[in-house]
Amino acid sequence: MEFNEVVSAVTAEIKTLGDSVSGIKTNYNEMRKSHEELKKVIENGTSDVIAREKLDKLASDVATRQDALDKQAVKHANELNERLDSFEVAMKRHGNAGSSDNAAFEEAKAFAIAHKSIMSGDTGFSYSNMPDVNVDNYKEYAKEFEKYIRTWGGDKQKLVEQAAIKTMISASDPDGGYTVPTAMSNKVIKRLYEIDPLRSLAAVESITTGAIEWLVDNGDAGSGWEGNETVATTNATTPQLAKKRIPVNVLATRPRVSQILLEDSGINIEQFLATKVGDRFGRDEAAAFVSGDGINKPRGFLTYADGTNWNQIEQVHMGDAAALTADGFITVKYHMIEQFLERGTWLLNRSTVQAALKLKDGAGNFLWQPSFMAGQPSTILGLPVRMSPSIPTVAINALAVVLADFKEAYMIVDRLGITVQRDPYTAKPLVEMYFRKRVGGDVVNFDAIKIGTIEA
């Protein structure tokens, strides 16, 4: 049967069958209504035995008729679906790509959508207001489409384009790609980010309040030699104490996910978020320990002024305006007093470590000594080396080299680990995950850290 004939037959027959189905439903509803009214009469006690017998007979008759009507309705529904299948096959066979007149196709498409809506019980559609299919327009459309497919015009590029249109390919989802399923693993490939190792190097204190305070002995006692046994010393210098305070700050984020994703995802979304947030918190706090300004966050050791007084960190010129030098490392190392050198650690950017690998002392020996033991870091001038992405790279005036006894020099204060509050109400249907961490940090001993600067 030609397509235009299918369209004509389906249009007429579906409407006829639809009217039949509607009539069945109407008759059925009327029968139910009569039964319910008679039932109310009996229940009110205003009827006699004969009326009750009639009611029982009617109830039996309704059940019988209901079964027959249900079977008839299923039969009509199947006939409607068969006709719709023929209709959809014809539509797919002819398609709508490439035609300059898509009006007929859109009419047929609207007719099919309306029919499906009626069959699914959508009260917004009815057979009385279904769109009409203009068979003549669709016949012209089919004719033009066939001509379009058969005509290549001698254009090679056009031939390739036309072939792509009429060929089902897996690379295009609408042209068949949806039929090629993709295997989905529950494994998530994780991108790794470089983080600062400060938490493993510094002193860490856990507290139960919003800040930690302690006294700092940053002065010295005076002394002097007496001239003789009858003359008292004139030195009356008394050591002074200062107070140091490190507050904890809040690091937080509020990612949102849909409830459906939480229920249906092949991976544990909440665990995935917790892992990602924990990793990001670790990077953010570590960067603050190095360069944070201390405003609502930890204060980093690179933000202190140059000097040898308390609340200052000495910056040592490494001898060259734009490059690392072997002499520069030696100079930085021996600006540190011996007590702190015993636990001293170099902290450099990864690119700075690469440059340091090439440096040699005056005897031609490399400053860098690789470690041959598992778990032991390599060394520069006998002191271990750790890498930090927050330390500046080698450049003019850059604070590119840090040497410190970090256990003595820097303190990290933890109030709480990472906590999460699950809020399904504020942004529903999205679920908001409120992750928080309270942490602080600051320099506590300014003599235990030295910074090498790229300066002549």
Q: What is the mean pLDDT of the chain?
A: 75
Give the Cα separation of 316 and 322 in Å (integer).
14
- The pLDDT score that the predictor gives to residue 92 is 53
Q: Is residue 172 part of a domain?
A: no
**Shared domain check, 395 and 267:** yes
Residue 182, pLDDT > 90, answer no
Q: Is residue 159 part of a domain?
A: no
Give the Cα separation of 369 and 367 in Å (integer).
6
**Shared domain check, 424 and 282:** yes
**Shared domain check, 94 and 11:** yes
- The pLDDT score that the predictor gives to residue 74 is 61
Residues 6+ apart with CB under 8 A from 238: 221, 222
- The pLDDT score that the predictor gives to residue 318 is 95
> Do 455 and 321 form a contact (C-beta atoms < 8 A)?
yes
- The pLDDT score that the predictor gives to residue 64 is 63
**Shared domain check, 42 and 126:** yes
Angle at 201 between CA 332 and CA 220, to 5 degrees: 60
**Shared domain check, 211 and 131:** no
Q: Which band of pLDDT confidence, cut at 50, 70 and 90, is reported for residue 163?
A: very low
**Shared domain check, 330 and 206:** yes
Q: Are strands 379-380 and 383-387 parallel, antiparallel or unpaired?
A: antiparallel
Nearest Cα to Cα of residue 108 among 126, 127, 90: 90
Task: Give mean pLDDT, residues 112-135.
Answer: 51
Last residue of a domain, one of 135, 150, 165: 150
**Shared domain check, 111 and 245:** no
Give the Cα separation of 10 and 26 in Å (integer).
24
**Shared domain check, 31 and 128:** yes
Which has more pLDDT, 75 or 237?
237
Percent of the chain with pLDDT over 70: 57
Q: Is residue 41 part of a domain?
A: yes
Each residue of 251-295: pLDDT tens digit? 999 999 999 998 888 888 888 898 899 999 999 999 999 999 999
Report whether the peptide linkage leading into residue 174 is cis, meaning its omega lies within 30 degrees of zero: no
Q: For 43, phi and psi rounded to 5 degrees? A: -65, -30
Q: Which residues pair with 434 in a beta bridge?
A: 421
**Shared domain check, 142 and 31:** yes
CATH number of the domain at 401, please: 3.30.2400.10
Last residue of a domain, one of 150, 184, 209: 150
- Six-digit token string for 8: 């004509």
Of these ranges, 313-322, 371-380, 413-422, the one predicted with the greatest mean pLDDT is: 313-322
C-beta neighbour count of 404 within 10 angstroms: 25
Give the Cα separation of 382 and 368 in Å (integer).
8
Q: Is residue 146 part of a domain?
A: yes
**Shared domain check, 140 and 79:** yes
- Six-digit token string for 176: 């068949």
On the 0-12 / 13-18 / 19+ scale of CB atoms within 10 A, 446 is buried
- In Å, how far are 262, 395, 434 from 275, measured between CA atoms? 15, 35, 14
Q: Is residue 444 part of a domain?
A: yes
Residue 167, pLDDT > 50, answer no
Domain ranges, residue 259: 198-219+235-453
Which has more pLDDT, 393 or 371?
393
Task: Give mean pLDDT, residues 210-228.
Answer: 82
Window from 102-116, 205-219, 267-281, 429-443 with minimum mean pLDDT = 102-116
Q: Is residue 28 part of a domain?
A: yes
- The pLDDT score that the predictor gives to residue 123 is 45
**Shared domain check, 207 and 146:** no
- Six-digit token string for 430: 């999205």
Q: Is residue 156 part of a domain?
A: no
242: helix, strand or coil: strand
Residue 96, pLDDT > 50, answer no
**Shared domain check, 127 and 205:** no
Tell me the one-letter amino acid at 14. I
Count the domains in the chain. 2
Residue 125, pLDDT > 50, answer no
- The pLDDT score that the predictor gives to residue 297 is 96
Nearest Cα to Cα of residue 437 among 258, 288, 257: 288
Q: Is residue 37 part of a domain?
A: yes
Give the Cα separation of 356 and 367 in Å (integer).
8
